[in-house]
Amino acid sequence: MQKSHPVIAREGLPFIFLGLVLAVSATWLLGKGWSLPFWLLAIFILQFFRDPPRHCPDDPHLVIVPADGRVVAVEKTRDAYLDRTAIKVSIFMNVFNVHSNRSPVEGKVIKRWYFSGSFLNASLDKASEQNERNALWIKTPEGKDIICVQIAGLIARRILCYVDVGSVLARAERYGFIRFGSRVDVYLPEESRVDVAIGDHVKGGQDVLARLHD
């Protein structure tokens, strides 16, 4: 069962408060007309940190999309984390997407890696290797190995991850957040059947990314 969380991400509360204070202050000091840009900024901040509840299928063979955004890569590649051939699916999040990160599968966190790095445009493929990133190795109850990587982007400068080695995650459980545009890579066993294609717009915690074979 997924753990509950508010529909507005807690990571955004200080930013939302500041945006509202600026908007109210501008209205009081400058008047309604001149305060409009400040209210638009406050609305933008509020929508960025929205975190609506999602409902995912119960099938244990399904891999769920870990983040909202657009699929920018589906390819067979070398998984450097586990030194294996794998299928990599990459999802790019722009500033208008929900930025909560959710576990693609049910399982236990076996290892966590953090790498400091650059802040290239997260839609570029080389961002997977050069940007700041946080990776989780999740092993499912059936013994399947999934790697899920949070990657900072051109504007995103803060990766937040709330789990560590030994944590047990439910499928689609919220485990992290990346601020202001970013990317998530998922490395799947090479025999997996991918259910998304490049260019697809997907919703984290709800849509199916792939199916794991028995």
Q: Which residues form the catalytic set? A: 182
What is the residue whose two structure tokens read 């202050």? 25
- Contact present, 91 and 183 (Cβ < 8 Å): yes
Report strand pairing: 168-169 vs 107-115: antiparallel
CA distances for 87 relative to 14, 67, 189, angstroms = 38, 17, 6
The whole-angstrom separation of Cα 189 and Cα 127 is 22
Nearest to 183 by CA among 25, 66, 62, 105: 66
Name the 3-class secondary structure at 12: helix
- For residue 63, the cross-strand partners are 210
Nearest to 147 by CA among 102, 92, 186, 189: 186
- Contact present, 212 and 65 (Cβ < 8 Å): no
The whole-angstrom separation of Cα 170 and Cα 58 is 11
